[in-house]
Chains A and B, each alone.
Chain A
Amino acid sequence: SDSEETVTDQDGDGEDGDGEAVEVIELRAATGLSSQHAWWSDNMVPWMDRVEELTDGQVQFETFSGGELVAVPDEADAVLNGTIDVGLILPIYQPDQYPMAEVTMLPLAHSDAHIGSNAWQALLTSDVELEDGKTYSEMQFDQFKVFPISTTQEYSISTTGKEFDSASDVEGTSLRTPSRIHEMYSETIGVNSVTMPAVEMFDALSRGSFDGSYYSIADWSGYGFEELFKYTVTDINFGHFNAFIGTTQEKWDEFPENVQEAMTQANEEIFSPGAQEWIDRSEEAIAQNKEDGGQFVEFTSLDQEVQDLFNEGIEKTWLDYAEILEEQGLPGNELIVLWRDIIIEQGGDVPDSLKNIE
């Protein structure tokens, strides 16, 4: 969709020289997420605005959100088949195509939106060779030019009232599980999993169909959950959902150098504010929830038996995930070691038992 219009490089610092006409690069950008979703409104939109600004309008974006052009999770395919030029890509939704993307969903002992985001960025840019001399990005996303953006805030467990006072309370609790990793985790700690589209959840939860869900607090407002959840366990972390802005490697190579630089610089600039947005949103949701009678319980204040159960579950989930990947012929063991190291390096933490795996 590159157009033939031209603009002039007005401040004259571009390579195309003073007053000379340069070709406008018009890019079609899309997400299936709603226009209010923080990944779009506070990550991708600022990135596009900044790129337009840095290139003095040489790059222009035509944007489509809310599934107007492409639905979740078809953004990756749409980028690859040329329907769109740039997409907000959510690889976790396609574990059949990107089986190693779910690694950021592995439960942790400690982290936050910044730690998760920095770790995700570090993983994408890591030069550690996982298999056959290939890095993580080369193995999973070699067709894409990847611009890492913030992960979500950590996932928590929230219920509409059910409390975890003893290990037997956990057993048989039914929670909605948003990803394959959560399914695996639930099974190991004896939680019954409910799968249901997010849009149906409010209805089902408010009428007591099941007990609660794994969810990121910052995302509550999208579905009105801040009014619904009454009990949330904090300071234990059920993973970070990840995303990136992607275009094809081919298209990237065609961009002029100044455009490539602008895109990279814009990406660096929006990265941290993007992560901060989740924290701000979550603080708002927590305040609202407390006002509505919700309580937040620190993981370390729970009965020791419950803590042990949750922690053992974390370890087993890591190992199970690695095993699934190994069965597919992928370097699962190497991947979880790399992820653990990155998490710790970025200031996060994992249960002690995982610190010894090699």
Chain B
Amino acid sequence: MKGVLSVYKYFDYIKIIGVWISGISLIGMMLFIVYDVFLRNIVENSINGGFEIVQNYFMPIVVFPSLAYVYSSGVLPKMDMLIERFKNKTKMFIIIGMVLIEIFVLILMTQFSLEYALNGLEREIAFPAAGTLYPLYPIFFFVPIAFGLIIVENIFILIRNLIEKQPSFLFKGEDKK
């Protein structure tokens, strides 16, 4: 487990970088919209293409880069009334089963969103705003990267449950409520 832990540490760094990117985008989005409102009211001219830029650039960058961090933070909801009643051994089997389903779905999502991004790259998909075309396809790549990182997280969770005695949906174990 020690070796796994030290590898996971590096993975944590990657997730933190994602949080930084999302966080900067969040603050940026706030300032951008405020500035747009300010311009429209003072100069009577908004940032050209402002809302398209917010929805196509800021929003996805607020959400996707930090998704793996969000996943491992334990904030994601689930119904746990039944599983809590099982013994550790049964619990472990259920958790491993669920993690495998999770990985299966995530692989599909990663693959399809990657295909979509590559297709977008090929067609140079762009969005029109204020008479100009802004490239959109680079943002598409955040999606498969986000899902891919969550697969890695799940592989760590799988390994953890095979090694540790106390089964858990999270790599670092769950908070006691």
Whether A and B touch (Cβ < 8 Å) is answered with yes
Is there an interface contact between B130 and A209, defined as CB atoms closer than 8 Å?
Answer: no
Is there an interface contact between A187 and B128, defined as CB atoms closer than 8 Å?
Answer: no
Contacts of B88 in A (CB 8 A): none
Q: Please, how many angstroms separate the alpha-carbon atoms of A174 and B125 in the complex?
A: 29
Q: Mark A179-202, 1 if CB is under 8 A from B, else 0.
A: 110011001000011111100000
Q: Please, how many angstroms separate the alpha-carbon atoms of A196 and B133 in the complex?
A: 16
Q: Of residues B46, B130, B131, which shows the largest number of chain A Cβ atoms within 10 Å of its Cβ? A: B131
Is there an interface contact between A195 and B131, defined as CB atoms closer than 8 Å?
Answer: no
Is there an interface contact between B40 and A195, defined as CB atoms closer than 8 Å?
Answer: no
Is there an interface contact between B51 and A183, defined as CB atoms closer than 8 Å?
Answer: no
Q: Does B111 contact A (CB under 8 A)?
A: no
Q: Please, how many angstroms separate the alpha-carbon atoms of A195 and B132 in the complex?
A: 13
Q: Please, how many angstroms separate the alpha-carbon atoms of A179 and B133 in the complex?
A: 12
**Known interface pairs A95-B133, A96-B127, A96-B128. Does A195 touch B44 (Cβ–Cβ under 8 Å)?**
no
**Known interface pairs A183-B131, A196-B51, A197-B51. Does A97 touch B46 (Cβ–Cβ under 8 Å)?**
no
Q: Does B102 contact A (CB under 8 A)?
A: no
Which of A95, A193, A210 has a CB less than 8 Å from the CB of B48? A193
Q: Please, how many angstroms separate the alpha-carbon atoms of A13 and B131 in the complex?
A: 53
Q: Does B164 contact A (CB under 8 A)?
A: no
Is there an interface contact between A183 and B44, defined as CB atoms closer than 8 Å?
Answer: no
Q: In chain B, residues 12-65, which have Cβ atoms closer than 8 Å to a Cβ of chain A?
A: 40, 44-46, 48-52
Q: Please, how many angstroms separate the alpha-carbon atoms of A187 and B137 in the complex?
A: 28
Q: Mark A13-35, 1 if CB is under 8 A from B, else 0.
A: 00000000000000000000000
A interface size (C-beta, 8 A): 18
Which of B40, B126, B131 has a CB less than 8 Å from the CB of A96? B126
Q: Does B129 contact A (CB under 8 A)?
A: yes
What is the chain B residue whose CB lies nearest that of A320?
B131
Contacts of B50 in A (CB 8 A): 195
Q: Please, how many angstroms separate the alpha-carbon atoms of A122 and B48 in the complex?
A: 34
Is there an interface contact between A195 and B52, defined as CB atoms closer than 8 Å?
Answer: yes
CB distance from B43 to the nearest CB of A (A): 8
Contacts of B129 in A (CB 8 A): 195
Contacts of A172 in B (CB 8 A): 44
B interface size (C-beta, 8 A): 20
Is there an interface contact between A96 and B49, defined as CB atoms closer than 8 Å?
Answer: no
Contacts of A195 in B (CB 8 A): 46, 48-52, 129-130
CB distance from B62 to the nearest CB of A (A): 18
Contacts of A184 in B (CB 8 A): 131
Q: In chain A, residues 150-201, which have Cβ atoms closer than 8 Å to a Cβ of chain B?
A: 172, 174, 179-180, 183-184, 187, 192-197
Is there an interface contact between A183 and B48, defined as CB atoms closer than 8 Å?
Answer: yes
Q: Does B123 contact A (CB under 8 A)?
A: yes
**Known interface pairs A193-B48, A195-B46, A196-B51. Does A174 touch B130 (Cβ–Cβ under 8 Å)?**
no
Is there an interface contact between B40 and A97, defined as CB atoms closer than 8 Å?
Answer: no
Q: Does B174 contact A (CB under 8 A)?
A: no
Q: Please, how many angstroms separate the alpha-carbon atoms of A195 and B130 in the complex?
A: 7
CB distance from B139 to the nearest CB of A (A): 14
CB distance from A165 to the nearest CB of B (A): 18
Interface residues in chain B, defined as those with a beta carbon under 8 Å from any beta carbon in chain A: 40, 44-46, 48-52, 123-131, 133, 136
Interface residues in chain A, defined as those with a beta carbon under 8 Å from any beta carbon in chain B: 95-97, 172, 174, 179-180, 183-184, 187, 192-197, 209-210
A-B pairs with lowest CB-CB distance, top 6: A183-B131, A96-B126, A192-B45, A180-B128, A95-B128, A184-B131
